[in-house]
Each structure stands twice: as structure tokens, then as C-alpha cells.
Structure 1
Amino acid sequence: MKKAKGKPRFRGGMPRRDNVRYDRQLIARSARGALPAELPLVHVTAAWLAKEIVRDRAFTPKWCDVFEKDLLYFFVLRPAYRSKHGNEESHQLSRFPVVFIVKPSAIPAPAHVYPFDTGGAAKGAFAKQADPLVYLEDYAVEASHNGAVGHIGWAFSSLDGYYRGDLKQDIQADIPLSESVTLGYIDVARMGIEGSNQHDKRASTVEIASSHNVALQDNIDLVVFPKQYVEGNPLYDEVIALGAEVELYDWQPNRAPDEFQEEIMTIAKAWYVRMGIL
């Protein structure tokens, strides 16, 4: 008998389930109602791809080799990212990040919600902290905006704490040692704390996936560009016409794309504060 094909595996990544016997302990930990019912979503991509998205006037799902289906990925509130070559210095402006902040209503029914970047988890980004026996699929939280925010309420207590990546201090106080999924999540999420030896904001940034196109018109609130990319470029006016504001960061050549994350997070936070979100 031919053996059924299992879930895709990546060297060093979290183990995968070949069945649906999920042990989703984080759903029961959700603190629904402690924070707003839904939060803005963030899509980060390279400047060249951002131009294509604006031209198409839509975000379009692409093949995901982790879940083997077409998906479109967002983070909740935080513009956390690491691109494939994000730590490599470059003079090519097209490689540098552009951030879209999107209304949560643009994705009324998420395909899934996870408490960290599943691409990074599957491909080994959190291997030094992750429990090697806990399956990736078990970390899923309720696939809804309430589920995403409820997880943030439990793990961080406040939006400001979540934005910084600071887990609440007593997070392990009432968790039995047998609750391996919850404890495994905490181990991974500690990588998102500033000053961690393996610091990676993706480790505690909530991910929402969509299986459908998302039109840009009136669904994007803010786009953060490298200012040099929109100088003399019709992109700026095109984004304004779509109903969004534009903020700019000062790109510099021969730096790495990931080096601009803190500056972009500062810009986004200032906008959130101005909008009364943070």
C-alpha cells in the first residue's frame, strides 16, 4: 500500500501533524473581552512587490509551502518581519520593506490564527527555544479576530505590552507542567522580548491568514514607504487615492532590510497613538 503523503517538513522546523488530533491548549487560555474586539492588520513586503500590489489594487493569496495552499499573510498590529535575505546589505532599494496597515474588516473570516510567524516556526527560526515534541498545528488559536485579540489579552495583558513584545510577568503562575503546548508557546514567545539572546519579534507576533483576495480600496489605512522609493513615483498619489495615509522612512544604501524594523515600528506606533489605537 502506498503511504499517504504527510505534512511538509523543513529541516530544524517544528514537527508537523499527520492527523487532526489537535491539542490546542492556547484557545482555552484566551482572555476574550479584555481588549478591543479586533485590531489593525499589517502586511510587510519588499518595495518592488508593494508596487505590484498597488498596481493590482489588491492583496492576492500565494502558494504557501508550509500549509500547502494559497494563503495571504498578515500580522496583528506589529510590523514584525524578516525577509529571506533581510540581513544582507544591499544598495537595491527595491528589496527594502514597505508596510501596509489594513482594516481588520478586510478579513472577516480568517483562514487561521497563530501566536507567531508560522513560516519562521516551520523553517526553524525558533528551534533554539521551541519544544521539539510539540506540533506546529497545536499552537493555533481560535480562527477569528476575537481569538487573536483574546490571545494577546492573555499573554500580554495590554496592547502596549504586546507591541513591545513583553509577556506579562506572571504568565506561568497558574500553568501546570503538563500543559506542554502553553509552556512551549511561552518559551518561543520569550524570543520576542527585547534583549533576548535570540531576539526575533516574529516569535510573539500574532499571525492571521486569509484564503481570499483583499481589495486595497478603502481597506488600507496607512502605507509606510522608503521615502526615496516614492520620490518622483506616482505610487504616492495612487496610495492616497486608495484611501490611505502615507508615512516615510529614510532609506540608506548598503544597509540590510531588517535593520529598518525598529524605525518602522516607531513610525507605526506613532500613527497608532494618533489614531487612539495604542
Structure 2
Amino acid sequence: MNRKKFQQFVEDKKTMPGMLPLVHTTPCDTFLDVIDAGELTPSYCEHFKRDLLYLFFGRPAYRVQESATHNLTFNWPFVFLIDPNKLTDIHRIYPFDTGAFFLGIYSRFFSKRAKEADFRLPGDLAYAEKVASIFYGGPKGYFNARSGICPNIGLTDFEAQGIHELSKLPPFASFGSNEIKRDERSTAIEIQIANSLDLRDVVVKILVPEPFITDEVFLSAVKKHDLQDRVGDFNIVGFHEGNSWIGQIYQATSDAFKELGYFDE
């Protein structure tokens, strides 16, 4: 069977180009290591059996680890927005978060015979642009996960059919109390990088929890790599659970995209 069928489906569609920054979100304890080193580095992936750095095309898709209290700052999210024009060596692209695919979270959308290779796209961001255009009408629709698009999908384009159905459903929808709930990562386009990225070369914005804006440890770290002018913030609401902060992060990311000119009509 042709395992590049989804790639061929994407290539065959006429789309309007629309680029977005790439996004890497990490908890505070990891962020401090990253900012100290001045680079994002790949780490070993059990699924792909190699070192990889994971980014998402245009979305700060992320879920915090459960902790005893939201005041434990080790788990607060930090967001890197990365200039897509600065990446020259992308390993692979997928139309969803592959971690959830390997966990079987998309099992209702694809054949039991489906493999990750069926959805694998070459390391060219034009493919990410095309996926966003085909299933969401462009970068803004993709960012907001509003799919009113009805692409012409053939009867044997099984992979595209599943991706289309995923794009139409609310990201937190589940089909039973025993199923793991999806989140917005299920429709976030995954970008895999196999090499380190120097923050000074690739980062256009760092979005951090508002209390860190005046924290001396944080300020010293960003000044070390001359990144202090690229910092933005989002609000932390202490009586909300950690996962509810994602709305604040999306708003800050949207504002940054507008500032950088990515949502220009």
C-alpha cells in the first residue's frame, strides 16, 4: 500500500500560502536550563528512537503537569515563538501531535492498520501551510481551530478523512468516560527538528508568566543572551487551575502574531 498517500493528497491541493511562527512551550524548570544554555536542544524520543526537538506550527498547544498547587512555579508554561524563515533543517512534519497518535487517542478517526508513516510529511514548511489551508482555510482559521472547510476528499483518502473529522470536532470532545480526552494538540501541526536552535538566531518572542517580568533570576538569564527586548507576558490567575491558563497564552500569542504582522489581511 502507498504510505505516502496523505502526502500526495496534500501536494495535489491548490492552496493559498500563509505562514506562522513555530512554537515551543516548556515548563519553568526546563525553561531555566534552556535560557541558561541559550539554545533549544533535541532530547531522546522513545517512539522515534532518536533525539528530536518538537515544535508546533503556529499554536502554543500545551498541557501542564498536575501539581499539588498552582503556586508551584516549576510547572508554569513559557512559550518560544520562532521565526519560520530561520529554520533550514526540518526533520519531519505531521498533521497532529504524534505522541497522542502512539497512545491511540485518535483511534476512532483512523483505521487500526494506520501507521505514523501514513501521515508523515517532508521537512518543508510549505506542507504545514498547505495542511492549515486545506483543513482550516488558512493560518488564522487554523490558529483558532475553526474549520468550516469542506475539502474534496476521495473515498480512499482515509488519512485525510480522519484529519478532516478531527478538525471539525471541539478539541476536548471525548466519546466515553474511559477514553483519554483529546486537547488542541490533536489538530496542531507538529514540526520535528533534529538539531539545536540558538535562541538569539531564531526566537522572535518569549512569552512568560507575568510575575517573571520583574524576577531577577529571569532577567539575568535573558540579558545573558541579549533577549530582554523579545519578552512578552501573559496573566496568571491563581484561583484558576493550570490548564485554564491556556486561554491567556493563546491571547498573548495572537497579540504577538499581530504585532509581527502574521495576521495581516
TM interval, shorter chain, is: 0.7 to 0.9
Distance in 1, Cα, partners of 2:91 & 2:149: 31
Distance in 2, Cα, partners of 1:231 & 1:159: 33
Shift of 1:60: 0.5
Q: Which residue of 1 aligns with 2:157?
A: 179
Q: Which of 65, 71, 80 is the aligned partner of 2:61?
A: 80
Does the Cα contact within 8 Å between 1:27 and 1:151 map onto a contact in 2?
no
22 and 128 in structure 1: CA distance in 2 versus 1, 3 angstrom threshold: closer
Indicate the larger mover: 262-271 or 129-138.
129-138
Amino acid at match of 1:203: S
Distance in 1, Cα, partners of 2:54 & 2:186: 15
Query: CA-to-partner distance for each residue in 1:16-54, whole Å, 9 max, x for gaps?
Result: xxxx96243244324466123x43110000011111100
TM-score by length of 1: 0.81
189 and 136 in structure 1: CA distance in 2 versus 1, 3 angstrom threshold: farther
Shift of 1:261: 0.9
214 and 126 in structure 1: CA distance in 2 versus 1, 3 angstrom threshold: same
Q: Which of 37, 40, 45 is the aligned partner of 1:64?
A: 45
180 and 89 in structure 1: CA distance in 2 versus 1, 3 angstrom threshold: farther
Q: Which residue of 2 aligns with 1:204?
A: 187
Query: CA-to-partner distance for each residue in 1:166-200, whole Å, 9 max, x for gaps?
Result: 224313xx222222111122233334x46745552
Q: Which of 52, 59, 72 is the aligned partner of 2:33?
A: 52
58 and 246 in structure 1: CA distance in 2 versus 1, 3 angstrom threshold: same
Aligned length: 254
Q: Which of 15, 23, 47 is the aligned partner of 1:42?
A: 23
Structure 2: state its 5+ residue gaps: 175-180
Distance in 1, Cα, partners of 2:254 & 2:236: 19
Amino acid at match of 2:146: D
Name the % identity: 20
Shift of 1:67: 0.7
Distance in 2, Cα, partners of 1:67 & 1:88: 32
Query: CA-to-partner distance for each residue in 1:113-144, whole Å, 9 max, x for gaps?
Result: 00111112212333344443322221122321
Distance in 2, Cα, partners of 1:232 & 1:67: 38
Q: Which of 82, 95, 109 is the aligned partner of 1:115?
A: 95
Distance in 1, Cα, partners of 2:16 & 2:203: 26
Query: CA-to-partner distance for each residue in 1:211-250, whole Å, 9 max, x for gaps?
Result: 0010011311111111223433242354361375212122
178 and 72 in structure 1: CA distance in 2 versus 1, 3 angstrom threshold: same
Indicate the larger mover: 234-243 or 196-205.
234-243
CA RMSD of aligned residues (A): 2.5
TM-score by length of 2: 0.85
Does the Cα contact within 8 Å between 1:91 and 1:254 map onto a contact in 2?
no
SS of 2:212's partner is: helix
Structure 1: state its 5+ residue gaps: 1-19
Q: Which of 123, 136, 147 is the aligned partner of 1:143?
A: 123
**Structure 2 residue 231 is matched with structure 1 residue 251:** no
Distance in 1, Cα, partners of 2:237 & 2:200: 30
Distance in 2, Cα, partners of 1:103 & 1:196: 32
